Amino acid sequence: MSRLYLYGVTRPREVEERFAEQGIFLIAAEGCAAIVSDLDEGPVEATRRNLLAHADVVEQLHVEAVVLPARFGHVLESGEEAFELLALPEIEQLLERHETTCELTLKGTYEESVLAEVGAELGPLRAAYRAEPSVDAGIALGEAVGEGLSERRAHDASLVLEGLGPLIIDLVSSGPSGELAAFDFALLADRDSVEPIAARLEELAARLSPPLHFKLVGPLPPYSFVHLTSPAVA
Amino acid sequence: MQRESSAGYLTRAPRSSGLADVLEILLDRGLVIDAYVRVSLVGIELLTIDLRVVIASVDTYLRFAEAVNRLDLRAVDDSKSVPDLFEKGGEEMAETKTKGAVEGGMDAIKEKIGLGGRGGDDDEDEERSGSRPRSGSNDR
C-alpha cells in the first residue's frame, strides 16, 4: 500500500513532463483527478523546499486549467482514498465554481509618513509628548495615533473594495498583519478580470499613494475559496 | 518576476515569489478533507501559532509616539546640518531594530522553516526558479 501526497484536485489531463519526472501523477475519476505523488513513511516536513514545491505544482497546473489546491501536508493512505475524495459531490461543485476563477492576494502597507498624517490632528497630545517625553505621554499619544490609524485602515480598505467593485467575486480579509499594514485580502476573480483589477489599483494608487503601497500577487489557484462545507465522515 | 508600476506604488508578481507569499496560504487555506487529514508535519505547532502580530501594545504606542514626534521635528527643521542627518539616520536604524523585535514571532517561524527571517526574498527567488530535484514532500 502506497501513501500519497495530495497537491490538489483538477480536471483529468496530461501532466507536464517536468512534473512527471518529479514523480507527480494524476489519479483520474469521472471528470476530476487528484494530483499526487508517492510518499514514503514518515511525516511531511514543513520545510521551505517542500512548501515551495507544493505551491509550484498547484500554481503551474493552475495556469492551464482549474486546480483546487489542497492544504499543505495532506496525505492519502492509499489510492482508494483518492477515489473516495474525488467522489465527494462538493468536489464537482467546486471545480465548476472555479473553472475560470483565480485568487489574487492584495496587501496594503503604509509608509511611516501615514503616522504624521494621522498625528496632524493630535496637536495637544503631540505638544505634551514633546514637552515631556514620558512613558505616559507617549502611550497617550501613541494610542491616539493607533486609533487614527485604525480608522484610516478601515477607510482605505473600503475605498479599495468599492473601487474594485464587481470585478471581485468573493473576498477573504485577514486583517492587517503589522503595525504599518493596511489590509490583507484574498480576492476571488475571473481570470479575465486580473488586468482590469490591476488597472483599477493603479487608479486607486493615484488617489491613496503615498502613503499606501499595494502588492498584488496572482493569478493563483483559489487557495482561500475551496472550503468544503460538509467534509466527508470517515 | 516582479514589476512595479511607473509610480511604484503597485508591485505585482504573477506567482507567489517566495515563501513569505505562500506561507500562511499553504498552512491555513486550501482543500481539507477531514476524513483524510493525515497532516503529519514536523513542527505542527506552526499551525497553532497565530501568525498575526498583535497591533495594540504599549510598545507599539510608544513607537508611534516617537515616530510622530520625529516626523514632526523633521518637518519643522528645514535646515539640516550634516550632524543632524547622522543623528536622524541613527534614529531610523534604531527604530528598524525595534520593529524587528516586534515582528520577531513571525521571524522565528520563518527561521524554523528555513526562510531565515526578513530580507531573504532574493535567495527565495533563486531557489524557486532554480531546478529542484524532486517536487514533493518526499524529501527529508
Phi-psi region of A132 (alpha: psi -120 to 50; beta: other; left: phi over 0): beta
pLDDT value at B36 more than 80 = no
Give the structural domain span for A38.
Answer: 3-99
The predicted pLDDT at position B125 comes to: 38
Query: From the CA of A57, how many Å to the nearest CA of chain B?
Result: 8
Bigger pLDDT: A179 vs B7: A179
Write the CATH number for A220: 3.30.70.260
Beta bridge partners of A44: B41
Q: How many domains does chain A have?
A: 2
* Chain B residues lying within 8 Å of A146, measured CB to CB: 55-56, 60-61, 64
Whose cell is 499526487? That residue is A36
pLDDT, tens digit, 9 for 90 and up, residues A29-76: 999 999 999 988 877 887 888 888 999 999 999 999 999 999 888 888
**Same-domain status, A75 and A175:** no
Bigger pLDDT: B106 vs A103: A103
* A132 part of a folded domain: no
Whether A22 sits inside 8 A of B134 (CB atoms) is yes
CB pairs under 8 A between A and B: 290
- Least confident range from A57-66, B37-46, B53-62: namely B37-46
Q: How confident is the model at residue B7 (pLDDT cuts 50, 70, 90)?
A: low
pLDDT value at B15 more than 90 = no
- In this structure, the dihedral spanned by the alpha carbons of residues A63, A69, A73 and A75, taken in order and rounded to 10 degrees, is -110
Burial B2-32 (b: 16+ CB within 10 A, else e): eeebeeebbbbbbbbbbbebbbbbbbebbbb
Over residues B43-72, the mean pLDDT reads 69
Over residues B33-55, the mean pLDDT reads 51
Q: Do residues A115 and B68 make contact, with C-beta atoms less than 8 angstroms apart? A: yes
**Same-domain status, A107 and A220:** yes
Query: Would you state the cell numbers that stand for residue B123, as one nine-digit string?
Result: 535567495
Whether A51 sits inside 8 A of B31 (CB atoms) is no
DSSP letter at B31? B
The predicted pLDDT at position B34 comes to: 63
Of A42, A116, A142, Cβ closest to residue B62: A142
Could you tell me whether strands B10-13 and A181-190 are parallel, antiparallel, or unpaired per DSSP bridges? Answer: unpaired
* A108 part of a folded domain: yes
Whether B38 sits inside 8 A of A76 (CB atoms) is yes
Q: State whether residue B17 sits within 8 Å of chain A by CB.
A: yes
**Cα(A226)–Cα(A228) distance, rounded to whole angstroms?**
6
**Same-domain status, A93 and A16:** yes
Model ipTM?
A: 0.83
Interface of B with A in 32-91 (CB under 8 A): 32-43, 46, 51-53, 55-56, 58, 60-69, 71-72, 75
pLDDT value at B126 more than 60 = no
pLDDT value at B127 more than 80 = no
Q: State whether residue A66 sits within 8 Å of chain B by CB.
A: no
Over residues B44-58, the mean pLDDT reads 51
The predicted pLDDT at position B72 comes to: 77
Of B31, B40, B63, Cβ closest to residue A70: B31
- Round the average pLDDT of chain A to a whole number and report it: 92
- Least confident range from A69-83, B16-30, B115-129: namely B115-129
Could you give the C-alpha distances from A49 to A25, A45, A136, A231, in angstroms and in order? 19, 9, 47, 29
**Same-domain status, A57 and A31:** yes
Over residues B90-97, the mean pLDDT reads 40
The predicted pLDDT at position B91 comes to: 42
Q: Report which listed range, A5-14, B54-63, B123-132, is most confident.
A: A5-14
Query: Final residue of a domain: which of A37, A68, A99?
Result: A99
pLDDT, tens digit, 9 for 90 and up, residues B63-73: 999 999 998 77
**Same-domain status, A93 and A110:** no
Bigger pLDDT: B124 vs B24: B24
Q: Judge if pTM exceeds 0.80.
A: no
**Cα(A221)–Cα(A102) distance, rounded to whole angstroms?**
5
* A159 part of a folded domain: yes
pLDDT value at B82 more than 70 = no
Bigger pLDDT: A97 vs A47: A97
Interface test with A, best of B60, B76, B137, B138 (most A CBs within 10 A): B137
Whether A119 sits inside 8 A of B41 (CB atoms) is no
Q: Report which listed range, A172-181, B22-31, B41-50, is most confident.
A: A172-181
Over residues B120-128, the mean pLDDT reads 39
The predicted pLDDT at position A98 comes to: 97
What element of type H or E holds A108? strand A101-110
- Round the average pLDDT of chain B to a whole number and report it: 57
- In this structure, the dihedral spanned by the alpha carbons of residues A74, A79, A84 and A89, taken in order and rounded to 10 degrees, is 70
Phi, psi of A30 (to 5 degrees): -70, 110
Whose cell is 513513511? That residue is A41
Over residues A18-34, the mean pLDDT reads 94
Whether A37 sits inside 8 A of B137 (CB atoms) is yes
Query: Would you state the cell numbers that stand for residue B62, as one nine-digit string?
Result: 510608544
Query: From the CA of B80, how many Å to the nearest CA of chain A?
Result: 19
Q: How confident is the model at residue A159 (pLDDT cuts 50, 70, 90)?
A: very high
